[in-house]
């Protein structure tokens, strides 16, 4: 009889923990490769295929600018493509597009001051933070980010709302984080690239968020950002015709 009672008590405790578990404990469902990828994804030949896109509306209050940012995605590799006309505009050299990968590799394709088409390859070590950096990120997140308990669905991604405070000011931001089945560090890593392109707003979350935590919305003193759509939007880009340029 005592064994049955103990088992029943244990079952109640287990169930309680299950219901209290955070939403982000659930695994986001992977997005399978579509039929075109097998033929179009050919990195060895300088060709890259992106089946989906993330589209954000933004407003930069400090610069008094607003618009839309489109980021193309290969859900299989986590590779992202940023095009000049739809994401970063002109910054540094006149790049046509940038391709980034979760391992820290970036490919910049554009023209130099003489109009010659060039390709610059860069590796960003920041996309692979060490244990000390990770520990500091966890500490900063737990100190300054407070979950409100609000959650929602953002185009199939589970999102949680946070109030964000700062050590150096009394300002507070509201940020929604979406759990994705792909790595979003190529987006945050642009802040660390020496041949930097100029995104219209700062997304400097590289050493704060986990690789599958996508900022889906920001409401702050200087910035408004909102994930407007996510879905199929096939794009193929080629680095052929761009001559490799070594910075050093």
pLDDT digits (tens, 9 = 90+) for 170-203: 788 999 999 999 999 999 988 887 656 878 888 8
pLDDT band at 22 (very low <50, low <70, confident <90, very high): very low
CATH class of 38-244: mainly beta
Averaged pLDDT of the chain: 85
- Residue 149's pLDDT is what? 97
pLDDT higher for 130 or 229? 229
State which of 26-35, 86-95, 238-247 shows the largest mean pLDDT: 238-247
Give whole-number Cα distances, 4 to 1, 12, 16, 17, in Å. 5, 12, 18, 20
The contacts of residue 98 (CB under 8 Å, 6+ apart) are 81, 82, 88, 106, 107, 108, 109, 190, 197
- Strand order of the β-sheet with 223-238 is 145-154, 157-165, 172-179, 213-219, 223-238, 47-60, 65-74, 79-83, 94-100, 105-111, 117-123, 243-244
Phi-psi domain of 129 (left: phi exceeds 0; alpha: psi -120 through 50; beta: other): beta
Q: What is the pLDDT of residues 90-145, one digit of tens each?
A: 554 579 999 999 999 999 999 888 889 999 998 887 777 788 888 888 898 999 89
CA of residue 60 relative to chain centroid, distance: 19
Domains of the chain, by residue range, sit at 38-244
Q: Residue 12: is its pLDDT beyond 80?
A: no
Model-level pTM?
0.84
Q: Residue 159: is its pLDDT beyond 80?
A: yes
């Amino acid at each position: 009889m005592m064994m049955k009672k103990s088992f029943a008590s244990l079952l109640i405790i287990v169930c309680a923990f299950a219901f209290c578990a955070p939403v982000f404990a659930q695994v986001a469902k992977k997005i399978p490769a579509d039929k075109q990828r097998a033929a179009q994804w050919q990195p060895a030949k300088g060709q890259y295929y992106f089946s989906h896109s993330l589209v954000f509306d933004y407003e930069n209050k400090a610069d008094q600018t607003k618009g839309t940012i489109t980021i193309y995605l290969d859900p299989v590799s986590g590779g992202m493509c940023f095009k000049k006309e739809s994401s970063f505009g002109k910054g540094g050299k006149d790049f046509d597009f940038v391709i980034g990968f979760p391992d820290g590799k970036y490919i910049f394709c554009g023209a130099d001051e003489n109009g010659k088409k060039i390709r610059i390859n860069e590796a960003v070590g920041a996309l692979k933070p060490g244990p000390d950096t990770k520990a500091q990120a966890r500490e900063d997140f737990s100190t300054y980010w407070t979950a409100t308990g609000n959650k929602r669905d953002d185009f199939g991604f589970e999102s949680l709302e946070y109030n964000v405070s700062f050590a150096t000011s009394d300002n507070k931001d509201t940020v929604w984080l979406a759990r994705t089945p792909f790595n979003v560090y190529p987006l945050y890593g642009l802040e660390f690239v020496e041949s930097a392109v100029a995104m219209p707003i700062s997304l400097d979350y590289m050493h704060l968020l986990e690789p599958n935590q996508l900022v889906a919305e920001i409401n702050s003193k200087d910035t408004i950002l909102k994930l407007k759509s996510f879905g199929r939007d096939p794009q193929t880009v080629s680095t052929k015709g761009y001559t490799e340029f070594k910075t050093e």
